Amino acid sequence: MSFEEKCMLNKKDPYMLLSVVNMKLRDEAPNLEELCKSYDKDETELVEQLLSIGYIYDPTHNQFIAQ
């Protein structure tokens, strides 16, 4: 993981986080659990951050989608 990628995943802006996470899910990770393990990110915290802006994880599409 590059320095830039790690910084992006730790950004406080939830919309930037949403964009980066969905890109990583699409390009790199088979599911949310694996993505979080790869980037040493707490899955519950990530889900809560994105839920705060109205997005939930859809495992069928492996993306966060609007509620």
Number of domains in the chain: 1
Q: Quick one: pLDDT at residue 5?
A: 65
More confident residue, 3 or 56: 56
Q: Quick one: pLDDT at residue 26?
A: 97
Average pLDDT taken over every residue of the chain:
88
Q: How far apart, in whole angstroms, are the C-alpha atoms of residue 62 and residue 31?
A: 6
Angle, helices 14-27 vs 43-51, to 10°: value is: 120
Interval 6-32: pLDDT, tens: 656 666 788 888 998 999 999 999 999
Domain boundaries, position 33? 3-66
Per the DSSP assignment, residues forming a β-bridge with 64 are 57
